[in-house]
Structure 1
Amino acid sequence: MKPLFSQPPRIDAGLFFLRLTGCLLLLYVHGLPKVFHFSEELTRIEDPFGLGPYMSLLPAIFAEVICPLFILAGVFTLPACLSVIGVLLVAMVFVHPDWSMVEGQFGWLLLIIFTTLAITGPGRWRLGGGTRREVRYGAG
C-alpha cells in the first residue's frame, strides 16, 4: 500500500535546492564574515538585550555558521532551523524594527526559507537518508 503522503522525487530535489541555496546565502553573507572578522564584529554587533558583545555574537555565529551546516547535511534540521529563525527574528524585530520591507527583504526572505524547511523537513536527499525523519515530518 502506498503511503498517504508520499512525495515525488522532484520534491526532494526542491527541498535539497532550498537547503543548499538558503544555507550558502546565510553562510556567505552573514556567518563567515562574523567568523573571519570576529574582533571587528565584537565592536559593532548590536546588543538588543544588554548581554554584551560576546553573548550577542556567539549565538549569531552558531545560527549562521553551525546550523546551516546541519541543515545543508539534512541532520537536526528542525532545531537548526529554529535557531536560525530565532536569530533572524531578533535581528528583524529588535535590532532593526525601523527597517522598511525593502530594507529588510533579505532577512524576511531568509525567514521564509528556513521556516519552510522547519515545516517540511529536509526531504530524503540528506545524510543518513532513511525513513525515520520522513515519518516525523508527515511525509510517509
Structure 2
Amino acid sequence: MRRTFSTAVNNNAVNVWLLIARLAVGALMLTHGIPKLQNLISGNVQFADPFGIGPTATLALTVFAEAFCSILLILGLATRLASVPLIINMLVAIFYALASQPLAKKELAIFYLIFYIGFLILGGGKYSLDSLIGRKNRSRY
C-alpha cells in the first residue's frame, strides 16, 4: 500500500514508459505521415498554406515532421531535436487547421502535443539510440 501512494520516481519505470510512449506515438503519427508522403511523391498536393510558403512546401514540412521525425522518435535518435518539428506541427494543427473546430476535434492533436513536449523535456530515455550514443561518447573520456 505504501508504494501505491509513493511520490518516489522509479527511473527504470520511467525509461520503460519512454520506450513504450516513443514506439506508440511514433507509430501512430506515421499513420498520418505516410499518406501525406505518398501524396507529396505523387504530386497530389492539396494542402493548407498557413505560412504563405505554398502548399507543396507546407506539405513537405509536414511530411518531414510526421514521417521522418516520427521514425527518429521511434528509434530514440535525436529525440529532443525530432520533437521540435512535431510540436510545431501539432501547434499548427490545433491553432490553424482545427482552429474553428470544437475541443473534441482538437483532442488528438493536443494529446500528441503533450507527448512531444514530454519527449523534448525528458529525451528518449535509457532504451534509445541517444542513450547508446551517449554511453559510447562517455566511455571515450
TM over 0.5: yes
Name the SS for the 1:94 alignment partner. Answer: helix
Percent identical: 28
Aligned twin of 2:123? 121
Deviation at 1:130, TM superposition (A): 3.7
8 A Cα contact 2:33 2:63, kept in partner? yes
8 A Cα contact 1:26 1:64, kept in partner? yes
Aligned twin of 1:82? 84
Deviation string 1:56-89 (CA, Å, 9 cap, x unpaired) is 1010000001001111111111111011001111
The one of the two structures with greater contact order (alpha-carbon pairs below 8 A, sep at least 6) is 1
Q: 2 CA distance for matches of 1:33 and 1:89?
A: 20
8 A Cα contact 1:34 1:41, kept in partner? no
Q: 1 CA distance for matches of 2:58 and 2:130?
A: 33
Aligned twin of 1:19? 22
Q: 2 CA distance for matches of 1:70 and 1:57?
A: 19
Q: Residue 107 and residue 128 in structure 1: after superposition, are their counterparts in 2 closer, same or farther (change >3 A)?
A: closer
Structure 2: which 5+ runs fail to align?
1-8, 136-141
Aligned twin of 2:105? 103
Deviation at 1:41, TM superposition (A): 4.8
Name the SS for the 2:131 alignment partner. Answer: coil
Q: TM-score, normalised by structure 1?
A: 0.81
Name the SS for the 2:62 alignment partner. Answer: helix
Structure 1: which 5+ runs fail to align?
1-5, 134-140
Q: Quick one: which amino acid aligns to residue 102 of structure 1?
A: A
Residue 42 in structure 1 maps to residue 61 in structure 2:
no
Equivalent pairs counted in the alignment come to 126
Structure with larger Rg? 2
Q: TM-score, normalised by structure 2?
A: 0.81
